[in-house]
Every structure is written in structure tokens, then in C-alpha cells.
Amino acid sequence: DYGIPTAEELAAGKKAYTLSGNDYLQDAEIVKSYNLYTTQNNSQAVLVQVTIPMDQAKNIKYLPLDARAEWKASDGTSTVRGYESGCQSLEEYINHTVTMNGGPENVGGLSDVSLITDEYVNDGHLIKSVSNPNTYITPNNGDWRTIPNDTDINASTFFNYVDIFTLRRSSPATTYYAPVSEDMADQDVSMVQFGDVVVDYVIQGTSTQLQPSYVDTTLRPLFNADGSLGMYDTAENTSELPQTIAYNGDVYNLVGPSETSLVSGLLLEGTTHVVYEYVLAPVPTPTPKTADTTNLSGYVAAILAAFIGFTITAVNRYKSNQIF
């Protein structure tokens, strides 16, 4: 049973889906594909995470993804779909296949990402198929719970599920729920964005570098593994923000960041330049050396006291020698 688990079953580890791996284009080894089975009747969101070596990721601007319904079934059971369960593969229809000509050797931008240029993308999302022009793109409205209709549909090439399987002419006693403006296939791209942060130290008002640039953040993806945007901070320690710099025998003091520099913040695509400005440290003015007059008053007072004492003594002696 591949039905929707209860809350208790989910807590116990039961999955709400079944995943079978890489059974489409398996022999070609060009596109990695999976089949995802679930009995959920409403809109669904699937998180796809891909790990790519950095040396390869640097050469990728847009990473394409393709999602499409694979099987048509007429029963209401909750089973993994396939020929064994009496289902029909929708890939048998040329306007529903993922490839351009039905051959595994020709999957366009899905296998060669260099083919996905900016003409395919608007505002970070795909606007036309990268592998099969018969795949019509569903606009991205930012809300996976409400799926818009496909756009720019050409009826002659559109995979119209309702008309192909004559759902409109079925028995009135049977009610079908099927999309009338959706080809049950979609593609989009994930932008691979990188950023780094470089710090420069210059004399204020000039472009003169006082010391080599400091790499605060090496080239890395903008997003962390948990999906949050990366952050940077160029004022964490004195290694990246020295208060003084010696240059050509002079000392320069830190003034602060330039007017256009953000000392910290969210990592942005490309190189973020942070500039710190410095000014020449003032040279101390020597103080002229003067005579030390600290104890002069005390010295004069001592001499004066001694002289007065001597005078009084002499007078007293003179008086004592007088004869009356």
C-alpha cells in the first residue's frame, strides 16, 4: 500500500511516497532520472538537492530540472505504476517525451548545460523547454500550491491529456479530474550562483594600496546547505581589519570603510569589494626642554629662612654683649 501515511505513521518513519531510481535513459548515462510515486491528489512540492563538485559547478550557470507524469492508469488503486499493473507509459507519445527526437542521445540542455543561455531564462526561471519544444512551460508564480496554466500553447503539438484519452466523451456517470491547460510535464532551472568577498586597504582619497588585498570569503555558492543565504563579515578580527598599517616607513591609521562599502551582510553574486581607508598618522611635535624650576621656590625659601635666622642670632649676640 503506497497510500498517504497517517500522522502517527509519518512519526514512525513511513514515507508518503515511493522512489524508484534511474530507470529512464539508464543505458545512455546522460540524464539522472527517478520515478516518484504517491497517491496525493493535491498539488505537491518535491525538494531536489544536487551535489556537484566545485570545479564543475563553476562552469554551470543554469542547472535544468525536468518533471513529468509518466504513467496513465484507469484504476483507483494505490500501486507503483507500470506495464505490470496495466498502465500506459505517457513517454510513448512523442510530444510528451523528455527528449527532442525520442532518442536518449539527444536531450539538449538537460545533458549539455552550456546550451542553456539567457534567452531561455527570465527572472531566474525557464521560459521555454531546453530539450523538447513540445514541452510547454508552466509559469512560476511563487506558490507551488496553485499551479498556473501552461502558456503559449500550440494545439497541434500540445500534449492534451483530456482529448488524447477522450475524457470529454466519456460516460456522464464518470467524473474525471484532469488538467485541460497543462501538458503534465514541466521544466525549470536552478541558478548556480557564486560569490566571494575581497577587502582592500587604501590611503583615503586615493587608490594607493597599503597592503595586499585580503580574501575574506573565497568563491563559494551563495546558499548554504540548509537553503539560507551565506553571510560575510570583514571586521571580525585585526587580521582582516588592522588599526594601523606601516607603509614606506610611515604609519597609517584606520579611518573606516569607504562610503560604498558594506562591512558585513548577505553574500552576493560575483565579487563584493570592501574598502577600508587610512590616513597618515600625525608625527609627534617634540617639546622644547626648559630649566627645571620645580623646587626653585622651596630653595629660595630655604636660603631666606637661613639668612633670617643668621641675622636674628647675630643681633641677639650683639645685644648680649652691650654694657649698660
Same domain, 64 and 117: yes
Task: State the Cα–Cα distance between residues 23 and 37, nearest whole angstrom.
Answer: 13
Instruction: Return the minimum-mean-pLDDT range out of 58-72, 81-95, 257-271.
Output: 81-95
Same domain, 132 and 76: yes
Same domain, 265 and 165: no
Amino acid at 228: S
Same domain, 169 and 43: yes
Residue 8 covered by a domain: yes
Same domain, 113 and 214: no
Residue 315 covered by a domain: no
Find the radius of gyration of the CA atoms of the chain.
Answer: 42
Residue 322 covered by a domain: no
- How many folded domains does the chain comprise? 2
Cα torsion for 162, 166, 172, 178, to the nearest 10°? -20
Instruction: Return the minimum-mean-pLDDT range out of 64-68, 195-199, 247-251, 316-320.
Output: 316-320
DSSP 146: S
Q: Which three cell numbers stand for residue 267?
A: 553574500
Amino acid at 131: S
Given a contact cutoff of 8 angstroms between Cβ atoms, the answer to whether 275 and 254 are in contact is no
Residue 311 covered by a domain: no
Q: pLDDT (tens digit, 9 = 90+) per residue, 29-47?
A: 667 778 887 766 667 778 8
Amino acid at 296: L
Half-sphere exposure of 21 (CA within 13 A, CB side): 1
Same domain, 97 and 59: yes
Greatest extent of the chain over all pairs of C-alpha atoms, in Å: 165
In CATH, what number is assigned to the domain containing residue 275? 3.10.20
Whether 306 has a pLDDT exceeding 80, the answer reads no
Residue 248 covered by a domain: yes
Whether 265 has a pLDDT exceeding 90, the answer reads yes
Q: How many CB atoms lie within 10 A of CB 20?
A: 13
CA angle 43, 44, 50 (to 5 degrees): 150
60 lies in which domain range? 1-192
- Going by C-alpha positions, the residue among 209, 183, 7 that lies closest to residue 98 is 183
Q: pLDDT (tens digit, 9 = 90+) per residue, 208-250?
A: 999 999 999 999 999 887 878 999 999 998 888 999 999 999 9
How many angstroms separate the Cα of 270 from the Cα of each of 219, 247, 259?
Answer: 9, 30, 20
**Strand 185-191 vs strand 62-68: parallel, antiparallel, or unpaired?**
antiparallel
Burial bucket for residue 143 (CB in 10 Å: 0-12, 13-18, 19+): exposed
Instruction: Read off the pLDDT band of 26 (50, 70, 90).
Output: very low
Amino acid at 127: I
Q: pLDDT (tens digit, 9 = 90+) per residue, 143-199?
A: 877 888 998 899 999 999 888 888 776 666 777 777 788 898 889 998 888 999 999
Same domain, 32 and 149: yes
Residue 292 covered by a domain: no
Half-sphere exposure of 287 (CA within 13 A, CB side): 3
How many angstroms separate the Cα of 80 from the Cα of each of 6, 83, 86?
Answer: 19, 10, 11
- Mean pLDDT (whole number) for 245-265: 96
Ranges of beta strands (E only) in the chain are: 18-21, 34-37, 62-68, 71-72, 88-89, 121-122, 125-126, 185-191, 194-203, 209-221, 231-233, 244-247, 250-257, 264-266, 270-280
Please report the sign of the dihedral spanned by the C-alpha atoms of residue 122, residue 126, residue 132, residue 137. negative
Same domain, 136 and 21: yes
Residue 93 covered by a domain: yes
Among 142, 161, 192, which residue terminates a domain?
192
Task: State the Cα–Cα distance between residues 137 and 183, nearest whole angstrom.
Answer: 9
Same domain, 81 and 38: yes
Q: Which three cell numbers stand for residue 164?
A: 488524447
Contacts of 31 (CB under 8 A, 6+ apart): 24, 25, 66, 98, 104, 107, 110, 111
First to last CA, the chain: 148
Same domain, 203 and 182: no
Please report the sign of the dihedral spanned by the C-alpha atoms of residue 110, residue 112, residue 115, residue 118. positive
